[in-house]
Structure 1
Amino acid sequence: MKTIIALVTLSLAVLTSAQAMATPLVCAYKDIKLDEQINKTEAKAYYKKLEKECDYTKAMGRIASDLAAIKKPMNTLNYYQGLRYVDRYAYEKARKDNIPLNVVFQIKKEDYDVPVAQRSHLVWNNWTAGINTIPQYKQALLSGEAFTVDMFLSIHKTFYTQDESGEYGQVYSPGKLKNPNTPEISWPIKDHASDIKANLDIVNQMYLELGLQPAISKDGVGFNQIIMATETDLKPSHPAYIRTHLKILANLVENMVQNIRDHRPLIWNGHVFTPIEFALFAQQTVVRIHGFYDGNGRMSRYLQDLILDMFDMPFIASGDLYADDMTSPLEDYYEKAMKSNSQQIDALESCRNNSSNFNCETIH
């Protein structure tokens, strides 16, 4: 098997000490005028959010620079790198039990019974191998290569350089989508069905307004929606429509990447996104489509972080957002992400002050 390079060599973030002094692209967007098609109310809200995103990026840049000065690279710390992949519950449990984050996830149930020092790094190494390709694909896209479904499938392969097949790792076909004839999957939501359905009404209305949702199929109400809910179950895209939905998403992303290349606002069908908004929107859409047998969360966070990196922005703590990504309307999801970003600054500032705690430990 391919040996995975140590996390310390990751060059995923733009937040080196030299770059922290430059103007991040997200901040340059504050001076780019919006088209007249964007109404004044939406434009005002857009620039207000953009200001906050710029301030967040600059703050993280200063922290990264200070941490580099004391030889404590931010890219290697538990709080920054770990919470990109590990959900908050697992993160806090690891903190409580003093378990390194690179062994938090194991393949089989019995693997969790072995001593911590003997646990496998395989799942973490696979995550690292995949997420470490962001600079490669970022450069390809900014150089003019098109974002396509095929590119997305190629990225999926990079998350499985080692075999994860087993009780928990259901890796059937790295780099391939679910077979259209695969049975539907769903998750029970009986106790929260009314709230979830209300949220998804907002979610699906946005997809319709943006022209991203195909017309309702004659096969049945909601059969070809990106995501839907019944009185008892939450359902991602039907396998028969997965490729269609991913093609629509890929076309959207490609158009937005072209806007980034040209330093134009992220406008689609009369709606303008801030960088974090669009990154979150893309992430949510990937996880709602749920096109792979395994790795949907990894791929959704990959696309999110790829978009953020294009704007010279830090990576957000996705581990704080796991419970809400499928069903939350974008505005609610954005607010939760920005709150998490503020907590991220506070946590990493303690590391800058040379505080010795779990958040500031290095992932090996």
Structure 2
Amino acid sequence: MFSGGPAFADDYPSWDDVKNAQANESAKQDEITRIEGLIQSISSQVSAAQALSTQRGEEYQVAQTAFDTASYVADELEAQAEEASAEAERSNTQAGLLAAQLARTGGNDITLNLMVGGEQFSNDLLYQLGAMSKLTEKTAQIYAKAQQDTNTATALTAQATVARNELKGLAEEAQRLFAEAVVAQQAAEAALQEQQDHEVELTAQLSVLKENRAATEADYQKGVEARAEAARAAAAAGLPTLPFIAASGWASPFPGSYSSDEFGMRVNPVSGAYLMHSGLDLVYSGGTCGAYVYASAEGLVTYAGWNGGYGNFVQVDHGGGIATAYGHNTTLLVGNGDYVQVGQPIALAGTTGNSTGCHVHYEVRVSGGAVNPRAFMANVGIEFG
């Protein structure tokens, strides 16, 4: 039985080998065993490659989600630190103004005024002293708040710095796992292509040997050409209409859809964890599953395959540090390394991965970080419902 690594061209039997083996029962059985071993080996290689690709895709998705979540938290901490610093500045300014007012109010000789001012003045002065006491108390309170605000700003700044420093490691880990996932997916595609290139012919050769009937390579090729023509006709009949393309060169990935879930932190509906939702979930009011998903702009497909919770996933690099991603598809229509045009169908929408219903998870990334697709696409002339 054949086993081991990938087969080479010399390992596969030719139709002449099949014909010659039919002349001798022992040779025929040997050829049957060899072909069965090749078919089993090809299937095993595909299964192993696909399992590894699935594993690498899941590892990458977990790492990318960790980075997106940490990046959002770091941004929030920095915003809170800036607000706390501004509040501390306002408190310090207010305390300073009150201190200046207190200094001006308390600058008179209180004893002399009591001696020469008479009873009415004394009553007024006692009132002023009470007011000064309250002013002093208020000033002390504001100074205390100013100090508290300053401490809060300092603490938040320190937390934001720590969070931002941790991002570098998370980003590097996500990028490393992304590269491994791409390699694994390419290996799976190569193994599948090997299977598609040879398994049909091997099965046909095996059938000829087992049934002991006459067949030629020309007969086999006629069948191959007939199947290919049928596939081309089916594809031509199902070609969709291209979506509207804005003057910016961008198009909606799911024209006419609306968002069922927005960008931001949320409780993941599948895992229950509080994580970053790095995109928009786009749906139609009916018939979402199986609908065409389109490339938002032209670019290079840098990932096409299984990606953990994203399910069947496509990522397109548009240059300039901008990329878009499309998750939970039922079927992918492009592969790694393909160059796609704006509005080109790249997948069929579905509910694969961590999905609770048919939708397109759509992301926009700038320099690796997720940004709100709604705001980004609005800037290039595309609105979502």
Determine if the TM-score, normalized by the shorter chain, exceeds 0.5: no
Higher-Rg structure is: 2
Q: TM-score, structure 1 length as denominator?
A: 0.26
The structure with the greater share of residues assigned to strand is 2
The answer to which structure, 1 or 2, has the higher relative contact order (CA under 8 A, 6+ apart) is 1
